[in-house]
A and B are shown apart, each in its own frame.
Chain A
């Protein structure tokens, strides 16, 4: 049991949703704050300690500019454990969706001639820059997984996260299959579990917001989707929404999968 670990919580570029999940633990927040010694949490605190060593740092967001990279490296140096929270930190998230388009081109589209003043880097997950001890994915992360992680860390352990797919959770809950029965573009079979198949529980297809499950077979998923009548563009777009940088989600083209 670590006695009151010194903790940092920081958001690189992103929507702040994973930090908000922490603040959304309304029933547990004061207990969490009592069990941890939160030294650095600029979104929620003033008077942050910018230098002290940290036992654990939680980082959300994507690296999209040089400042993100510098801050991330600084936090890594300060912390014994670095936990990536959210799909942006774990997989690059939505900002990394069109990395084949040059940032220069996107900057021109958005800021015009003034774009020269803005520095960008190709959006990447934090593991491309520093060692990550644990990644809790999700867009946003699940409150329950966060609380379990904090409880494990207080006992000096890393939590065990599911290594099976949303599809498994969905079957266990006995929701009607949106992929096979309803013919929807559902990524449940290749997305890592942990959300209790939230979207299918509302009759909505899994969009893959939690990133790929280990050994995801995207080619086989693409083949099924193609048989359901989806175009190569639709399938590629859906695969490349939250974790475009994941090797396991890269398929050359749907035609090629069919031939494989």
Chain B
């Protein structure tokens, strides 16, 4: 019987983390998701900075989610100053974020997860036996990056999205070219649905989950919303996000953990589809049915299937956005001159890995006095530990050699972004 299982370094995740499981008398006594990525102290670093420096600094919390960090940061600054952006800016920002979602999901599925399901150590090893599938994944990733480059100016750490708009607006031709790429991408995303539906998703990590995601009264599935909906039936305004993410510091982790009503909860693609999947339409709706997402609500390994559905959704939605922009015509709007004032603003967005909050306070000269960033991975950590415990309990009789890759698979299913999770503001002692 095992006494302890220690995985020093989980590979194929972004950042540095490990797993420690202690077992006493055949029962799991302790499960820790260890985070040993170092702290960069982003929130205190940004204190004292002018409002227009906040997004360029805080987007650098994470490369993979930099589009989402950028947009939510701009939204928080605008909310603090009472700036309402126009519909063209809203649509272009959404397009940028959808590009980030496509890139991130394609990277995770093809480079990190599918090698697991087919038992290869890496995407490069996978490419020698399955070159067509890998090329398809890389093309999808490239599509997400093409959108981010066209709208954001760069695939990582976008430079073109600014307060109240964009430095340079895309041309009609650029948008139509993206649409053509998206059309080809849609075919590839549907082939990805075929591929994922042919793979066996194991069920060793099934246990009841509480899900959280942004929601709004607008029709259609969305990565934006003004309320936080929970599968418990609770809803909260985004301005009181701290009532959902009760953070606590745990000794084994540089990242703080989030709990809601003393229960861990999950955010991300599976949470979004569990809460809002009924709003999906078109090919994404069919993909959700094909991947039988509704029948496995409590198996987090299905998060990868949910990401596949969202790959289809983000491509279809990007095409809709382009149609809308082209139909109206790109207006040469210039960002307004900002009148700084003292205030507090919160922004929330569905980043690829789940709900992301940025909240800032500024003094009357527009210098930042306080910042709070809560990332999806920080919210998921407690739930990851819950799922690791369930998995060890289900697999306790298996030899260690076959058990440890399964535990890594649980962590990887969440697509953790450990760089993102490490950070944080002042602690609330309870």
Contacts and interface: CB of A to CB of B under 8 A. Distances in A.
A43 B108 CA distance: 11
A104 to B, nearest CB: 11
Nearest to B64: A20
A120 B41 CA distance: 11
Nearest to A98: B45
A42 to B, nearest CB: 5
A2 interface: no
Interface in A184-222: 198-199, 201-204, 207, 209
B12 A44 contact: yes
B39 A94 contact: no
A13 B123 CA distance: 24
A42 B107 contact: no
A203 B161 CA distance: 11
A94 B40 contact: yes
B424 A110 contact: yes
A161 interface: no
B297 interface: no
A26 B145 contact: yes
B374 interface: no
B168 A202 contact: yes
Contacts of B49: 237
A110 B167 contact: no
A248 to B, nearest CB: 21
A23 B141 CA distance: 9
B356 to A, nearest CB: 14
Interface stretch (B152-160, B183-191, B273-281): B152-160
Given A111-B424, A207-B56, A101 B123 contact: no
B9 interface: yes
Interface in B391-430: 405, 408, 419, 423-427, 429
A114 interface: yes
Interface residues of A, number: 64
Given A109-B426, A139-B60, A48 B11 contact: yes
Given A15-B60, A24-B156, A29-B138, A112 B44 contact: no
B249 interface: yes
Interface in A1-35: 11-18, 20-21, 23-24, 26-27, 29-30, 33
A250 interface: no
Given A16-B64, A202-B159, A38 B50 contact: no
Nearest to B250: A114
A120 B38 contact: yes
Contacts of B157: 17, 139-140, 209
B160 A98 contact: no
Nearest to A233: B48
B12 A46 contact: yes
A110 B44 contact: yes
Given A48-B11, A204-B167, A30 B38 contact: no
Contacts of A113: 427, 429
A41 interface: yes
Nearest to B155: A24
B127 A30 contact: yes
B337 to A, nearest CB: 13
A111 B408 CA distance: 27
A13 B36 CA distance: 9
A246 to B, nearest CB: 17
Given A20-B156, A33-B127, A44-B123, A13 B38 contact: yes
A234 interface: yes
Contacts of A65: 36, 38-39
Interface string B1-40: 0000000010111111000000000000000000011111
Contact of B141 (A24, A140, A203): A24
Contacts of B45: 94-95, 97-98
A260 interface: no
Interface in B40-71: 40-45, 48-50, 53, 56-57, 60-64, 66
A241 B60 CA distance: 12
A110 B36 contact: no
Contact of A45 (B11, B37, B145): B11
B206 to A, nearest CB: 24
Contacts of B424: 110-111
25 contacts: A14-B419, A23-B111, A23-B141, A46-B121, A46-B122, A47-B122, A62-B40, A94-B40, A94-B42, A94-B60, A109-B44, A110-B41, A110-B43, A111-B249, A111-B256, A112-B426, A112-B427, A139-B157, A140-B157, A199-B153, A199-B159, A202-B153, A203-B168, A237-B53, A241-B57
Interface of A: 11-18, 20-21, 23-24, 26-27, 29-30, 33, 38, 41-48, 62, 64-65, 67-68, 93-95, 97-98, 101, 106-107, 109-114, 117-118, 120, 123, 139-140, 198-199, 201-204, 207, 209, 233-234, 237-238, 241
Given A43-B11, A120-B38, 7 more contacts: A23-B107, A30-B131, A43-B12, A43-B14, A98-B41, A109-B41, A109-B426
